[in-house]
Structure 1
Amino acid sequence: MYYLQEFLPHNNEDYRLFVVGGEVISAMRRRGENWKTNIACGAIAEYVEPDPVLSQLALKTAELLGADYVGVDILISHGQPYIIEANGIPGWTGLQSVTHVDIAGVLAEYAIRQVQLAINKD
């Protein structure tokens, strides 16, 4: 089986927005030497303030997927944002290296709140 995807010019960069519990907790720009912008492929991470338009796209993506947390990858091509991936098991080592947010702590606190809500519901 082959999956084909149209190439979109994107200046060798994209954005990862990390959504937890209906909130964008942090974001980064990934810049590569070529079209691959994965940290594992040698791209570098840079912290960026979450852009309001990209944040809304990431939040809507999480909502549509019913995801408690998700990494949403967005690239800009010809001035238009494109969601290229919504990852339910996102790697966040690159993001953690450039953000002041304690991602593990945010995820743990969210999980604890969800458990408490479930207990109190019964």
Structure 2
Amino acid sequence: MRSDHRLAVLASRVRFEEKQIMAALDRRGATFVHLDPRSLVVADGVSRKDFVLNREVGHYRALYAASALESAGATVLNTAAATHVSGDKWLTTAALLAAGLPTPRTALAMTPEAAVDALDQIGYPAVVKPLVGSWGRLVTAIPDRPTATAVLEHVAALPSPQQHVVYVQELVEKADRDIRVLVVGGQALGATYRRGDEWRTNVARGAVSTRCELTDVHAKLAVAAAEAVGAEIAGVDLLEDADGHLTVLEVNDRVEFRGFQDAHEIDVADVVASHVLGRARA
């Protein structure tokens, strides 16, 4: 990355969202470069004027690229610290709890064997999730203790020590939907319901986004959750139980917004571009 490049978009895959953001930057007359982390080597020569929008899809590349760029003097949005926290489910839970925000009952077991006891304490049905992951992959619903024992035997056989630390969460009884709120620069842009044919309501798994009326409760909770993990641009996932009580499930720091944009007339990419340019000028 050369010091004469003021603004960069970091992404190995240029998806719908990245194309929209780049087009919005073009419309605003911004000069920027596309920075592919797969060929990125960070050393001396990064100007303190450089500003990088982190849109890298892979968590670890996003995290370490952001950290390296920041160490060389660049400003990265979202920061490496925000990516570190929001990309790890337990760190997100810890940040939400520290901020006093409602989140489903959760336990962290240091071994798969201890996770059986953790599930007994949480109660069934429950969910076992990988610490790092997206699109609902490897998230497993656990209806009872025999299923837990079988699933955790497979977890114990996984090769990575990190995979043996088990994140356990209650399965919140909810409607066939969750709520996604987009937050940019401390403002909630709007909300969508995400409905699917299965209990995981990820758009990547076929869920459909429809417009949700954004209430003050949704907005305040989502903004507070984004602030808790340090993310200026975020997608905050809320769960609503049968009694209407809301909890914060996740905060996504490199949020996908195609489903949201299909459900709204809001040009999310233009809002992001405006925020990025304002921060870069500052």
Q: TM-score with structure 2 length normalisation?
A: 0.40
Instruction: Check conservation: 1:75, 1:82, Cα contact below 8 A.
Output: yes
Q: Secondary structure at the match of 2:181?
A: strand
How many angstroms does 1:79 deviate by? 2.1
- Counterpart of 2:274 in structure 1 is 109
Counterpart residue number, 1:81: 246
Determine the C-alpha separation between the residues in 2 that align with 1:88 and 1:18.
10
Structure 1 unaligned regions, length at least 5? 118-122
CA apart distance, 1:47: 1.1
- The yes-or-no answer on 1:36 pairing with 2:209 is no
Report percent identity of matched pairs. 34
Residue correspondences, number: 117
Select the residue among 67, 72, 86 that pairs with 2:236.
Answer: 72
Q: CA deviation digits over 1:46-83, x for unaligned, max 9?
A: 01221211111001112222211110000101321011
Structure 2 equivalent of residue 6 of structure 1: 170
Q: Which runs of 5+ in 2 are unaligned?
A: 1-163
The 1-side partners of 2:248 and 2:269 are apart by 24
Q: Equivalent residue for 1:91?
A: 256
Runs of 4+ in 1 over 6 A off after TM superposition: none
CA contact (8 A) 1:17 1:55 kept: yes
C-alpha distance in 1 between matches for 2:226 and 2:204 = 24
CA distance in 1, matches of 2:247, 2:271: 27
Is contact 1:13–1:32 with CA below 8 Å preserved after alignment? yes
TM-score using structure 1 length: 0.90
SS at match of 2:191: strand
> 1-side partners of 2:174 and 2:272: how far apart?
31
